[in-house]
A and B are shown apart, each in its own frame.
Chain A
Amino acid sequence: MTPTFPARGAAPHAGKVRRSFAAAANAEPETWVRVTGVEAIPLRQGRSVRLGAREIAIFNLGDRFLAVDNRCPHQGGPLADGIVAGGTVVCPLHSWKVCLESGAVRKPDVTACVPTYPTRVEDGVVLVCLGAAPAA
């Protein structure tokens, strides 16, 4: 995906494979943060969490959890409050549709995307990988 929006704080892992353990493939150190018990996020819903300078939306898709910045690329709407449609979320403000896997906007036809973050589940806890801290 081409330029990320918003420009500030674009995550280094945008577009990368979920649940990546391939730290070696990447020169930067990975920071996995224990966020919350899986039960805090209801099925097919999102919840937001503040992690350092970032606000991240984590979604429970039943077979996996996906995390993106909680800021719609359109006008900053809270994606965590959107309706999940398959592997996408629909922003509650003006219905932009954002792919939760890649972060890319699916509707309307614009080139924009939100940063995504790898996740994994360990002992009933959702972990999010923040990568190297952004220059905040």
Chain B
Amino acid sequence: MERLVVIGNGMAGVACVEQLLKHGPKFSISILGDETHPNYNRVLLSSVLAGQKDADEITLNPVAWYAGHDIDLRLGARATQLDRAARTVTCEDGRRLEYERLILATGSAPVLPPLTGLNLQGVFVFRTLDDTRALIAAAGAGVRAVVIGGGLLGLEAARGLQLRGCDVTVVHLPDTLMNLQLDAVGGRYLQRHIERLGVRVCVNRCARAVLGDGAVEGVEFADGSTLPANLVVIAAGVRPNVVLAREAGLEVRRGVVVDDQLGTSDPAIYAVGECAEHRGVVHGLVAPLLEQAKVLAAVLAGHRDERYRGSIPAAQLKVMGVEVFSAGEINEGDGLDCVRYEDAGLGVYKKLLLRDGKLAGVALVGDTADSQRYAAWLRGGADLTARRSSLLFPAPAPDGGLDVAQLPAAEVVCGCLGVTKGDLIAAIHAGGINTLAQLKDRTRAATGCGSCAGVCERLLRAVAPDFVEAGPSPICACLPFTQEQLREMIRSQQLTSVQEVLEIYGQGEGCEVCKPALSYLVDLVWCGEHEEDRSARYINDRVHANIQRDGTFSVVPRIRGGVTSPAELRRIADVAEKYRVRMVKITGSQRIDLLGVAKEDLPKIWADLGMPSGQAYTKGVRMVKTCVGTDFCRFGTQDSTRAGIELERRLENLYTPHKVKMAAVGCPRNCAEATVKDIGLIGQEGGWQVVVGGAAGKTVRKADLLVTVATTEEALSAAELFFQYYRENANYLERAYDFIERVGIEKVRKQTVYAPAPARAALLERLRKAKALAKDAWLEREDPVHAAQFVQIQAMEVPQP
């Protein structure tokens, strides 16, 4: 076997090796990488910085992958010398490797502009995982960050730092942001979007020095003005790593010069990725590099006719809430027709450049929904003459299936990782793929910048037999994240209070929509060990009673299973008279409601009642309605009363995404209406049916059968599994019936009653833990969270009349 050495364990080098392995074993391969991590997805460092991904989630090839393919991986090994005559590479530590073929895949390094003070503590670059970790460690609430450079990288760094609580300013030398990808008008639209997110932007400013004594204190500009800072990120461009090649005498201009087969001026040496210069162009985005990697792999495998003919770069800004897409030419010029649309109010800017009836360039700011279509026209060189009057309108076909149906199978859907429509369909057919997550996992599509996720999802919808919708929508305007993302952020950033989440992700404010939802989420994620903040709770959850139209409250004590006693009824009657309750009402839930109670009377009423809270005011466990069952009913087959009381006991005092109403009935006559409850137990001869997702509110829905079991204990356990699964996975304010319609009962079954034993045990364990910490809220009558929780303030002095 031939000896192949790859210098650079990054995206292009490893992609080339991956492709090469597909052609069969022909080489014994060594990879040298000066970073200490196996190959990871550099593109996603922005997401790591922004807290949307964990560092270990972005690994592309774990160490086991190298071992599994007999690749000799040397991490932390920097190649320092290349001897072309002897065909050897020498590392920093003196080790020497022989090669027959050599691939240079050294990528590039950040350009450090001529500023003084770059050695101060607190000055960072943003290129590697280690850089990112250092940035994360230095970022935080109250840190003033200055990002030098307003290109793709600088803006992504700025937003990431801001999400971590920093006060961020971007300083950019040219007049407009992202000037390599957008014209001046587009750059100004982008600036407004960025500023609206709360990131300050200074354009046309030349930084001269980083100020400070040991650590960064500020940045000084050419005009003498200064800006205070404790953290500076240099994002002023990259420069190919070519020292090794130049010293070895290879032809180098900006990058290592390669031909259409990625060969350098030495026939045994190839170059690929950001360090290579092909037809005068050095690419700085992943898609072209992966195309190069494919061609080089084919060439090395002996396919002599493969040629790389260049790529049209397409750039996408990965900043949540700001959509920017740019590809091809940027500025108007001779022979170019310009088609433009802008709406300053909406912040939407679209520009197409055409040459000879074909698309030559596209820039989209504020709305990138059509980017795939334009990218395809650009790549395919489609003749647009006939469509000239409708290039920007109408929007893509409203029929979701149509636009994917129109894509040819060879069309690249995921530009980042080079996955075609044909690849995706083959993967879906090959093996039980029904969700976007599975498709990503299998094909890696949509795992780069993620912009093709929409197309992938439409494709799944059209092709997958049991497609499962992801359906994410942001929680509210002040917090532009889905609840799933928020759950993940709360977990990974270890945020234990609502205010912490808001400080970092929501400009510190929050609203009546996100605050209660976050209150639920932090409680859920930390299993009750969160920092409770009553200011983020709705009034009902501050005083544990239901506010009425006149500002008074209603009191519903817990009467488990609807079973009470004469003594209890007498006590309730006494309390109702003592506090002159305006109305005593039997509720639809087999309980008693005392209406019209003043806030300051609440603790006293609870004490006099001596009964626990019925949680009738909150998103939590309401009741288990029961029928009389075997004890009395001549039809009864199961002891529904006892089962219902036990279920209520096991779940009471817990909070849920939305209210949970349950019922247990002794036979299919269903007297307590279990089939229209969130969870129902239906007794039958020899066992129980457990049903979930019923509704009898605005809409009526018959519950789905979750499972049929033999014993009462199994029925209770199935109900608990579903209950906890709903708690953990439903969106706040999503009733069980909506949750089931969204997720599908099959999936619910698979993840609860049919889940592997350890998964079931884990669900129940988390339920137990939360339950152990859950208390009857009405006990706050003796131990209020705040002295003035229930009472009105008494003024210290009476106003003078």
Residues of A at the B interface (CB closer than 8 Å) are 31, 33-36, 39-45, 47-52, 58, 75-78, 81-86, 90, 92-93, 95, 97, 125, 130, 133
Q: Are B510 and A85 in contact (CB under 8 A)?
A: yes
Contacts of B547 in A (CB 8 A): 78, 81, 92-93
Q: Are A51 and B538 in contact (CB under 8 A)?
A: no
* A40-B793, A81-B551, A85-B512 given; A31·B800 CB < 8 A: yes
For window 526-553 of B, CB contacts with A under 8 Å fall at 533-539, 542, 547, 549, 551
Residues of B at the A interface (CB closer than 8 Å) are 478, 509-512, 515-516, 533-539, 542, 547, 549, 551, 786-788, 792-801
Q: Closest CB of chain B to A132's CB: distance in Å?
A: 11
Contact of A33 among B512, B533, B534, B799 (CB under 8 A): B799
Contacts of B535 in A (CB 8 A): 42-45, 83-84
Q: Are B799 and A51 in contact (CB under 8 A)?
A: yes
Q: Closest CB of chain B to A38's CB: distance in Å?
A: 11
Contacts of A86 in B (CB 8 A): 509-511
Q: Are B796 and A34 in contact (CB under 8 A)?
A: yes
Complex A-B: 27 CB contacts under 8 Å: A31-B799, A31-B800, A35-B793, A39-B787, A42-B786, A43-B535, A47-B792, A48-B792, A49-B794, A50-B792, A51-B799, A76-B551, A77-B551, A81-B539, A81-B547, A81-B551, A82-B512, A83-B512, A83-B538, A85-B512, A85-B515, A86-B511, A90-B511, A92-B538, A93-B547, A95-B512, A133-B801
* A85-B509, A93-B549 given; A36·B796 CB < 8 A: yes
* Minimum-distance CB pairs A-B, first 8: A44-B535, A86-B509, A90-B512, A81-B539, A85-B511, A49-B793, A78-B551, A83-B512
Which of the listed residues B511, B536, B538 has the most CB atoms from chain A within 10 Å of its own CB? B511
- CA–CA, A47 to B798, complex, Å? 17
- CB closest residue in chain A, given B515: A83
- CA–CA, A43 to B800, complex, Å? 29
Q: Closest CB of chain B to A74's CB: distance in Å?
A: 11
Contacts of A95 in B (CB 8 A): 512
Q: Closest CB of chain A to B646's CB: distance in Å?
A: 35
- CA–CA, A83 to B536, complex, Å? 7
Q: Are A47 and B799 in contact (CB under 8 A)?
A: no
* A81-B551, A93-B547, A95-B512 given; A42·B795 CB < 8 A: no
Q: Closest CB of chain A to B535's CB: distance in Å?
A: 4
Contacts of A51 in B (CB 8 A): 795, 799
Q: Closest CB of chain A to B36's CB: distance in Å?
A: 44
- CA–CA, A116 to B498, complex, Å? 28
- CA–CA, A35 to B797, complex, Å? 7
Q: Closest CB of chain B to A43's CB: distance in Å?
A: 6
Contacts of A36 in B (CB 8 A): 793-796
Q: Are B798 and A52 in contact (CB under 8 A)?
A: yes
Q: Closest CB of chain B to A13's CB: distance in Å?
A: 14
Q: Are A41 and B788 in contact (CB under 8 A)?
A: yes
- CB closest residue in chain B, given A77: B551
Q: Closest CB of chain A to B141's CB: distance in Å?
A: 15
- CA–CA, A85 to B801, complex, Å? 34
Q: Closest CB of chain B to A58's CB: distance in Å?
A: 8
Q: Are A52 and B801 in contact (CB under 8 A)?
A: yes
Q: Closest CB of chain A to B500's CB: distance in Å?
A: 14
Q: Closest CB of chain A to B165's CB: distance in Å?
A: 17
Q: Closest CB of chain A to B502's CB: distance in Å?
A: 10
Contacts of B796 in A (CB 8 A): 34-36, 125
- CA–CA, A125 to B796, complex, Å? 9
17 new A-B contacts, CB < 8 A, other than A75-B549, A83-B539, are: A33-B799, A34-B795, A35-B793, A42-B535, A44-B536, A47-B792, A47-B793, A49-B792, A51-B795, A58-B793, A83-B516, A83-B537, A84-B535, A85-B510, A85-B511, A130-B799, A133-B801
Contacts of B788 in A (CB 8 A): 40-42, 47
- CA–CA, A52 to B515, complex, Å? 34
Contacts of A77 in B (CB 8 A): 551
- CB closest residue in chain A, given B540: A92
- CB closest residue in chain B, given A45: B535
- CB closest residue in chain A, given B785: A42
- CB closest residue in chain B, given A84: B535
Q: Are B534 and A34 in contact (CB under 8 A)?
A: no
Contacts of B792 in A (CB 8 A): 47-50
- CB closest residue in chain B, given A85: B511
Contacts of A82 in B (CB 8 A): 512, 539
- CA–CA, A43 to B795, complex, Å? 19
- CA–CA, A58 to B794, complex, Å? 12
